Amino acid sequence: MKQILLLTDFSENSTNAIQFALELLKDYQCNFFVLHVQKTKGYISDDLVMGGGQNLYDSVLKTSKNKLTKLVNTIETKFGKANFKFKSLIDFDSLTEAINQVIASKAIDLIVMGNNGVTGAAERIFGSNTINVIRNVNCPTLVIPEGFTFTTVSELLLPLELEDTLNSTAFSELVSFTSKFFKRIHLLRLNPNEDSQTHLNTDKNYINSLTNTLQFTYHLIKGVPTEYAVQSYVQIHNIDMISLLVQKKTFFERFFTGSKTSKISNKLRVPLLVFHV
């Protein structure tokens, strides 16, 4: 039984991400926890105006509960299966603290969220909430781009930089997860140093030692900026999803929030699956 955390702010983006997850996991036994995290400060002024004797907390909680109940009822009606169970959760906390509490109490296997728009340069691709979750929550996370429609997945791209190793728990988790849905993982070893043959041999030896049904395609890319290599590969090879092995202040920071970000499209083209090293 998989434990899946679905994040919602009641936006179209978050609902679309939930629908993607339900389609992807339709053949598996899953407990879905639908979490809405409410910031009370956004309601203080309005609620004080309408005030009366009603407690602010109760007012906000009732509104959120009603929205969440309606959402869960809708997805249960559309995706209701014997192998799916849903539970609604509401928290008044920071987003990442609320998520970490649920992960600890419910043994969450996967977080699913939609991107939440664009703000500053650092949030050009995802939005601040998604960036914060990926940076501060140590749990596999699936991010669905705005307006992305579910199709059967087959091809997954995993870009690798010098510090990324296939002989890691994160890569093992990725292989275990993706083998249920994908036919092939495309490994893109980006900008290796002069000893590229060592990378090639080490990576391929490890791939050959794996026992699963996945196919692997392996490429060494030199002298091409990371963002161009990944974007081009996605378009040319009909990639259905990108995965990253995220380390602190490494590939994720450079690829999505560094100075090169201005050269990248302001929308993620395909879903992103993140595993933390």
pLDDT tens digits, 126-172: 457 887 888 889 999 999 988 899 999 999 999 988 778 898 899 99
Domain assignment present for residue 50? The answer is yes
Domain assignment present for residue 90? The answer is yes
pLDDT of residue 194: 59
**8 and 138 in a common domain:** yes
Q: Give the pLDDT of the chain (277 residues) as one tens digit per residue.
A: 799 999 999 999 999 999 999 999 999 999 999 999 986 555 544 544 555 445 666 776 788 899 999 999 999 998 877 899 999 999 988 899 999 999 999 999 999 999 854 443 334 444 578 878 888 899 999 999 888 999 999 999 999 887 788 988 999 999 999 999 999 999 998 876 656 777 788 888 899 888 778 999 999 888 887 778 888 899 899 999 999 888 755 555 555 554 333 333 345 789 999 998 8
Taking alpha carbons only, the member of 168, 161, 174 closest to residue 241 is: 174
Domain assignment present for residue 173? The answer is yes
**114 and 7 in a common domain:** yes
Domain assignment present for residue 105? The answer is yes
**263 and 183 in a common domain:** yes
Domain assignment present for residue 264? The answer is yes
**162 and 135 in a common domain:** no
**215 and 84 in a common domain:** no
**CB-CB contact of 183 with 216 (8 Å):** no
Which of the listed residues 144, 177, 193 is the one where a domain comes to its end?
Answer: 144
**10 and 94 in a common domain:** yes
**Exposed, middle or buried by CB within 10 Å (0-12, 13-18, 19+), for 82?**
exposed
Taking alpha carbons only, the member of 139, 103, 120 closest to residue 273 is: 139
pLDDT of residue 224: 81
**18 and 140 in a common domain:** yes
Q: What size, in residues, is the chain?
A: 277
- What are the residue ranges of helices labelled H in the chain? 12-24, 44-50, 56-79, 95-106, 128-136, 169-178, 196-209, 226-236, 251-252
pLDDT of residue 264: 35
**264 and 167 in a common domain:** yes
Which of the listed residues 118, 144, 170 is the one where a domain comes to its end?
Answer: 144
pLDDT of residue 195: 64
How many C-beta atoms surround the C-beta of residue 76 within 10 A?
Answer: 15
Domain hosting residue 189, numbered range: 155-276
How many C-beta atoms surround the C-beta of residue 271 within 10 A?
Answer: 24
Domain assignment present for residue 255? The answer is yes
Q: Which long-range contacts (CB under 8 A, 24 or more apart) does 106-109 make?
A: 106/3, 106/5, 106/31, 106/33, 107/3, 108/3, 108/4, 108/5, 108/33, 108/139, 109/2, 109/3, 109/4, 109/139, 109/140
**112 and 7 in a common domain:** yes
Domain assignment present for residue 115? The answer is yes
- Tokens of residue 192, six digits: 């290796």
pLDDT of residue 125: 44
**208 and 229 in a common domain:** yes
Question: CATH number for the domain including 174?
Answer: 3.40.50.620
Domain assignment present for residue 150? The answer is no
Tally the domains of the chain. 2
**162 and 113 in a common domain:** no
**263 and 211 in a common domain:** yes
Which of the listed residues 88, 110, 144 is the one where a domain comes to its end?
Answer: 144
